[in-house]
A and B are shown apart, each in its own frame.
Chain A
Amino acid sequence: MKILVAVKRVIDYNVQIRVKEDGSGVHTDNVKMSTNPPDDNAVEESVKLKESGKVKEVVAISIGEDKAQETIRKALAVGADKGIHVKADNYIEPLGIAKILKKIVEKEKPDMVFLGKQAIDDDCNQTGQMLAAMLNWPQATFTSKVNLKDKSLEIVREIDEGLETIEVNLPAVVSCDLRLNEPRFASLPNIMKAKKKPMEQINAKDLGIDLTNRIQQIKVEEPPKRKAGIKVANVAELVSKLKNEAKVL
């Protein structure tokens, strides 16, 4: 079996976001970039399935500017076999990303596509479900446990009420939660080896899809700031403030 795993390059989760003065977006110059965190879980799970012998090949794909190749290299360094970089210099919304992924799926014919549940920059949580719909495949979102069977996947997913178990036929799309596994770190020798693994490059423009964004970003602003609070000296003062000042008790 074969897995296609989608990895996005995003501003590192530890970076304090700074909104641009002119309202056009957030500062990205000289800002640390990393793999979108749940995409690391998607890669880890793909590699584990390969190590279990059930999966033969893991192909990592990223869509974005040239530096997206670094994100792919990282996936290769922890065990993916091949990379595909779809070059696109502008932001593409999830609908467009899903269309690109569909094209690649038709070409690569994987049995499963693994993605992160959500990109931590746009916080959209759409791409996997859109791809599944376009392919007419079933989906497993918010996945925290994967059990690969002959022709299906048994999945435990995190839902608002607790946990849900479902079974989806293959081929299927799986979007991964952070609790699915513990992503490994790449060792130095593996980082070196990853440099020799194949990386295919495709231009998004050459895929014959209309990638015009439908959502126009009018402005980006800082969220309203909370007014500064106070420190209380002890528990009694806290309770008294909550009761008499904030009036919430």
Chain B
Amino acid sequence: MSVLLIAEHDNSKLKPFTLNAITAASKIDGDVHVLVAGANCENVTKEAASVPLVKKVLWCDSPNYQNYLPENLAPLVTKTAEKYDHIVASANTFGKNFMPRVAAALDISQVSDIIKVSSPDTFIRPIYAGNAFATVKSNDKKKCVTIRPTSFDPAEKNGGSAQVEKIEAVDVPNTSKFIKREETKSERPELGTARIVVSGGRGLESGENFKLITDIADKLNAAVGASRAAVDAGYISNDHQVGQTGKVVVPDLYIAVGISGAIQHLAGMKESKIIVAINKDGEAPIFSVADYGLEADLFKALPEFLAELNKLNTIQK
């Protein structure tokens, strides 16, 4: 009766959402085992072992797992899953990629993107871009579950000392090849975990004008987000997209600028604690979810906003 959680990492460090996934896994069953599959990833196993909620770490080291190709990773998870009742991963592009392959191999109907564990077999998940919440019960013997990281707090990182057990790699099909990854490098906090997010939409009109957004973000030590329209128009790269088909964020403060508030965008941010909307159209739907709405031209409001922020003597970090 244990949970197998698949760690997301870059071979040297655990990715932050793994800690949220560990919390979710521990709500299903206290006996959480973490699988760390990667290449030369010993440091990751140590990090995982020091998380107090983790009871055991399974470590599989092989060049085949370096780039988490799902064709390679899924057979390992499938085999390791024999001894477990639940297989859990984050519902981000990492978990979404391989988990359904594991579920299919085990003939399990996967429960995607849960936001709450009601019991070990019953979960709540948003459907229709979060316009409805479904309570679902899995009748499969084993369960494959992906969890929405932002709906669970990150687990405490330090103080544990779980046992690390090495496991054998399994054969890979050699049908896919990793070529390259272009990561957007930034000094700013990660969008998924930032305390404050400042997002821009089509109202910004150009990539250059996004500087108005990034200036505020830097002042507030915030991450930068965007609507799909802004990404499609090339103002900013795809990894900034917030929404049904982008990232889900739940910061303490979300500032939406020049964003109309289509349901697909709201799906990614409407759980934020405080929402601010700056839009020149007083009827824009974004105002219906905003705690504080400012009906104004952003080209005037953003420089003023920056000036006001500069006047504050302290800003929380």
Contact = CB atoms under 8 A, between A and B. Distances in A.
Q: Do A and B come from one complex?
A: yes
B295 A130 contact: no
Nearest to A142: B93
Contact of B108 (A158, A162, A166, A214): A214
Given A138-B175, A161-B183, A165-B180, A129 B101 contact: yes
B93 A231 contact: no
A120 B101 contact: no
B275 A229 contact: yes
A246 B108 contact: no
Nearest to B70: A139
B181 A239 contact: no
B100 A160 contact: no
A242 B274 contact: yes
Given A120-B129, A125-B112, A242 B253 contact: yes
Interface string B205-248: 00000000000000010000000100110000111000011010
B109 A231 contact: no
Nearest to A178: B245
B1 interface: no
Contacts of B175: 137-138, 168-169, 172
Interface size band for B: 35 or more
B74 interface: yes
Interface in A30-75: 38
A102 B130 CA distance: 30
A235 interface: yes
A171 B103 CA distance: 21
Contacts of A118: 245
Contacts of A137: 175
Interface residues of A, number: 79
B274 A214 contact: no
B108 A95 contact: yes
A242 B105 CA distance: 50
A90 interface: no
Q: Which of A19, A129, A172, A231 has the most CB of B within 10 A?
A: A129
A173 B238 CA distance: 22
Contacts of B181: 159, 161-165
Nearest to B141: A214
B203 to A, nearest CB: 16
Contacts of A117: 245
A235 B276 CA distance: 11
B147 interface: no
B165 interface: no
B100 A138 contact: no
Given A129-B101, A168-B175, A220-B134, A235 B238 contact: no
A26 B312 contact: no
Given A154-B179, A166-B177, A126 B138 contact: no
B111 interface: yes
A243 to B, nearest CB: 7
Interface string B85-126: 000000111101111111111011111110000000010011
Interface string B264-297: 1000001001111000001000010111111110
A213 B113 CA distance: 18
B109 A11 contact: no
A120 B245 CA distance: 9
A5 to B, nearest CB: 19
Contacts of A100: none
A98 B103 CA distance: 11
Interface stretch (B32-40, B42-50, B303-311): B303-311
Contacts of A238: 276, 292, 294, 305, 308
Given A123-B128, A124-B112, 6 more contacts: A123-B127, A159-B94, A219-B134, A219-B135, A229-B292, A230-B291
Which 5 pairs, one residue from A and one from B, show the smallest C-beta to C-beta distance?
Answer: A129-B100, A214-B109, A130-B104, A133-B101, A17-B131
9 contacts: A129-B97, A161-B183, A166-B178, A215-B109, A229-B291, A231-B287, A235-B305, A239-B308, A249-B315
Interface of B: 69-71, 74, 91-94, 96-105, 107-113, 122, 125-140, 173, 175-184, 192, 196, 220, 228, 231-232, 237-239, 244-245, 247, 252-253, 263-264, 270, 273-276, 282, 287, 289-296, 301, 304-305, 308-309, 312, 315-316
